[in-house]
Amino acid sequence: MKIQAINGFKDILPEAVGRWQSIEQRARDIFERFGFQEIRMPILEKTELFVRSIGEATDVVEKEMYTFADKGITMRPEATASIMRAFIEHGLHVQQPVQRLYTIGPMFRHERPQKGRLRQFHQLDAEIIGAAEPRVDAELIAMGRMLLDELGLTVSLELNSLGCPVCRPPFKERLVAFLEQRREVLCDDCQRRTRTNPLRVLDCKKPSCRAVVQEAPSLLETLCPDCDRHFLEVRTALEELRIPFRINRFMVRGLDYYTRTTFEFLTTDLGAQAAVGAGGRYDGLIEQLGGPPLSGIGFAMGLERLVLLMEQQANNSLAAPSTDLFVAALGTALLAPCGQLVHALRQQGAKAAIDYSGRSLKAQLKQAGRSNARFTLIVGEDEWARGEAILRDMRTQEQRTFTLNGSPEEQARRLLALVGTAATSG
Ligand code: ATP
Ligand code: MG
């Protein structure tokens, strides 16, 4: 019986990995331009960390976590909680009061697998800790925007404010009263949510619930003066940076720790998986986890969804992996010197390949073609006896004689000088 990967857990094959790497590299590059430093945390954390941060009555904690019940530990479903745990544990703020941290890695949620939704998925996660100014919100959003732009992706931005412990509780009460009156029209989940997590009803996808919440009271209209000013300043700062956005008062996010600004980067190209990335402020979270009273804001983008979008929006052809030089040794006696030459080429930074099978010239040229070689050095026994080989430009089919004198290192150097000029001129 063949053993296969677990449902919802996926291999990333070599043909796709180039795309992953280019997204990751671009993200690192941009994050560093904005002054972020990388942090890497363990995949397992105490279950308590996620229950206390994400919230007991959220979908993630209620039904999506991979928890080892007998050990009280959980595979991280997201990165923010782990970063805050590490931040507090190591007192990172003592050295540098404002921390800009990013991480890239796998997250785990027990969800129904479908396109753009997996059980092991990967996030790019960026957090700014210790800065409460609205311009910081705009700067972080601008960073996400810049990444999506530089990847050539068309993605829209929605913005909302979830208020704070001053204005949200009275709003919640009004919302619950409103929902209770329409209880019988709500879906089963939302009837339950009305009691456990009423804000979640606002973004239920069922048409009957959507119709109900259109009439619901709006938190944006009842924000306290501080939250109201904050939200206004975030919008102004985004406009200053010429970042278009749309306000969506029904956006609530699935994690309890959010306060004030929340945002989502959305696409219509991935079916039900509309969110490419999402984030927001979490001003009470660090204190709630036993740390100093510092504010924070962050976002996470799903790498799978970015990869799918890059494939779909297809305005970015990724160069196929290539070999600079393929050495075709025609005869077993030539394997030793050709092997030395290839080794020297690699030491000098070239992508060099060799076939040890001693197959025919035709077979080896075919192999060179498959590995996308720019040049092939053909070393036949007769030529070798004369101290020569043939250098073939795989694009133009032109051939020239290459003299094989000197050490493998010297040969490699001359070869690369030749190949380098030919490659840039053609
Ligand atoms: P969704 O509404 O799609 O379930 P979410 O609100 O649960 O997303 P977040 O917790 O905010 O997502 O995570 C941020 C990003 O991580 C999402 O925008 C998405 O790109 C990605 N993501 C979340 N869950 C998954 C998953 N199961 N598979 C793949 N990517 C995911
Ligand atoms: Mg989700």
pLDDT digits (tens, 9 = 90+) for 182-193: 999 999 999 999
Atom in ligand 1 nearest the alpha carbon of residue 60: 7
What does the pLDDT average to over 122-140? 97
Q: Separation of 303 CA from ligand 1 center, angstroms? A: 10
DSSP state, residue 6: P
DSSP 63-109: II-EEETTTTEEE-S-SHHHHHHHHHHTTHHHH-SSEEEEEEEEEE-
Most informative mutation of 9, 121, 263 for ligand 1 (most atoms within 8 A of CB):
121
| pLDDT at residue 70, rounded to an integer | 85
Does the CB atom of residue 107 touch ligand 1 within 6 A? no
Ligand nearest to the CA of 308: 1
Q: Which atom of ligand 1 is nearest to the CA of 305?
A: 20
pLDDT at 55 over 50: yes
**Is the C-beta atom of 307 inside 6 A of ligand 1?**
no
- CB-ligand 1 contact for 78 (6 Å cutoff): yes
Between the CA of 41 and the centroid of ligand 1 the distance, in Å, is 19
Largest CA distance in the chain: 95
pLDDT value at residue 319: 57
- pLDDT tens sequence across 20-37: 999 999 999 999 999 999
CA-CA distance, 350 to 294, in Å (whole number)?
Answer: 49
Burial level of 203, CB count in 10 A (0-12/13-18/19+)? middle
Is 300 close to ligand 1, i.e. is its CB under 6 Å away?
yes
* From 12, 66, 109, 153, mutation site for ligand 1 pocket: most ligand atoms within 8 A of C-beta: 109
Position in ligand 1 atom list of the atom nearest CA 59 = 7
Ligand 1: does its nearest atom lie under 6 Å from the Cβ of 304? Answer: yes
The pLDDT tens digits for 95-126 are 999 999 999 999 999 999 999 999 999 999 99
- Grouping H, G, I as helix, E, B as strand and the rest as coil, residue 203 is helix
Please report the pLDDT score of residue 205 as a whole number: 87
Determine if ligand 1 sits within 6 Å of the CB of residue 277: yes
pLDDT of residue 426: 40
Ligand 2 midpoint to CA 337 (Å)? 57
What span, in angstroms and rounded, lies between the C-alpha atoms of 190 and 66? 24
Ligand 1 center to residue 249 CA distance, Å? Answer: 20
Residue type, 364: Q
Q: What is the pLDDT of residues 317-376, one digit of tens each?
A: 555 667 899 999 999 999 999 999 999 999 999 999 999 988 999 999 999 999 899 999
Which ligand places an atom closest to the C-alpha of 309? Answer: 1
Extract the tokens encoding 125.
């996660």
CA-angle at 270, arms to 264 and 273, nearest 5°? 50
- Given ligand 1 and candidates 123, 125, 153, 276, which is best to mutate, with the most ligand atoms within 8 Å of its CB? 123
What is the H or E stretch that residue 328 is in? strand 323-330
What is the predicted pLDDT for the residue at 19?
92
In the reported structure, the alpha carbon of residue 302 is separated from the centroid of ligand 1 by a whole-number distance in angstroms of 6
In the prediction, which pLDDT does 158 show? 98
For 266, the token pair is 């959305």
CA-CA-CA-CA torsion sign (376, 406, 380, 352): negative
Conformation bin of residue 406: beta by default, left when phi > 0, alpha when psi is -120 to 50:
left
> pLDDT digit string (tens) for 191-235?
999 998 899 899 898 999 999 999 999 999 999 999 999 999 999
The backbone region for 290, taken as left when phi is positive above 0, alpha when psi lies in -120 to 50, beta otherwise, is left
The predicted pLDDT at position 320 comes to 62
In the chain the domains, ranked by start, together with CATH numbers, are 14-167+223-312 (3.30.930.10), 323-420 (3.40.50.800)
pTM, rounded to two decimals: 0.89
Cα-to-centroid distance, 64 and ligand 2 (Å): 9
Mean pLDDT within 279-303: 96
Q: Which residues contact 193 (CB under 8 A, 6 or more apart)?
A: 57, 200, 201, 204
